[in-house]
Copies of this chain bind each other. A is one copy, B any other.
């Protein structure tokens, strides 16, 4: 019996201690008419060897394409030691650290995680993680409305330069709290928030969301935006890429006061792409908002002997104590991912993260330079970018993506599906990180040129 260590003698002894004749009898409180007759549609068990072979084949069936897609999920080099350590049984197979004394490993790691996230974002405090970047933004919106009662508004200004999928997730999460999400258009020339239109806003609002870099890869004028929102009595939620923060100003220092809440997706910090999850949302805030923060928080304290140690704290915010009055219903979060992220930042250090970020910028610029000379490709936005940029194609973007897939390239994201009504037709969002070599980029540019030429009948040449 796989995974069942009982011998038949032990089973007999146990049943006799319990005083029943069979295991079946232990289910005698279940009304017989409800009892089901098995699990016929589930396949029969396979040995580890068979499953390994099956899954290895499945994992290889789609090849290992060169990836130029980003849009919220980024391929970075992941040092081998990270997952070797994170998947050590003691981290991998432990529960949420409810018994602090028996969980100092996890607890110290999370304390270090909180410190690192606070450092990266320039904020005072961080929680122990949320599900992912999108849901973290949802929680930030809820939190800003809770925390900013004096705004007397449940309106959130959500720029169109925030990822469309993120906006959809937020909408799902906040739907039943009477919150409205008002989309602010982007500047057609720059691919950033249209500040003029923004300033025309006259109704009060609870918070403004500012992405940096934004979904198009462009950099928002975060200082101006932050100060403007604060002047309106609103809070500011910074939505940031953690790798970019190695080079770009931390949200804690945007404008004169810094943002109130910083959130984002920490996947770029050591988490594999793996089809979109598990990733890890992070959230940091100003000290004064700490009691509004959702999720787990670890604090440093001392033990009976005065020796420093760590434990979960401020649990009175949480559902298991506060129940219907909790700041959120979140319970299980992304602990193991927080461990991996902490390891990533510890291994890379300040210098390493800066180098990764700089390498992204340099490689992205290199591909832009290659594509600039490609016939038919246009760059709709003039603003400088971090590691993503938009191009428009002289032909159907879906067809291009499919043709590139034939050459084992993930060409990028068709963002016209989200922005066609904004005039962005046949637009492709392309990402380049430190993992792409000069040869990769040349191959990308050559293949793209060839694909376009094939699809347009070479006419534009």
Contact = CB atoms under 8 A, between A and B. Distances in A.
Contacts of A48: 77, 79-80
A434 interface: yes
Nearest to A56: B64
Nearest to A440: B53
A435 interface: yes
Contacts of A10: none
A52 interface: yes
A424 B79 CA distance: 52
A163 to B, nearest CB: 27
Contacts of A79: 48
A52 B48 CA distance: 28
A37 interface: no
A84 B83 CA distance: 11
Count of this chain's copies in the oligomeric assembly: 2
Interface in A69-93: 77, 79-80, 84, 87-88
Interface string A193-219: 000000000000000000000000000
A302 interface: no
Is the interface on chain A under 10, 10 to 19, 20 to 34, or 35 or more residues?
10 to 19
Contacts of A435: 49
Contact of A49 (B47, B49, B53, B434): B434
Contacts of A52: 77, 80
A77 B52 CA distance: 9
Contacts of A49: 77, 434-435
Interface string A82-109: 0010011000000000000000000000
Contacts of A80: 48, 52
A351 B77 CA distance: 43
A49 B436 CA distance: 10
Contacts of A88: 88
A184 to B, nearest CB: 39
12 contacts: A47-B77, A48-B77, A48-B79, A48-B80, A49-B77, A49-B434, A49-B435, A52-B77, A52-B80, A53-B437, A84-B87, A88-B88
Given A47-B77, A48-B79, A52-B77, 9 more contacts: A48-B77, A48-B80, A49-B77, A49-B434, A49-B435, A52-B80, A53-B437, A84-B87, A88-B88
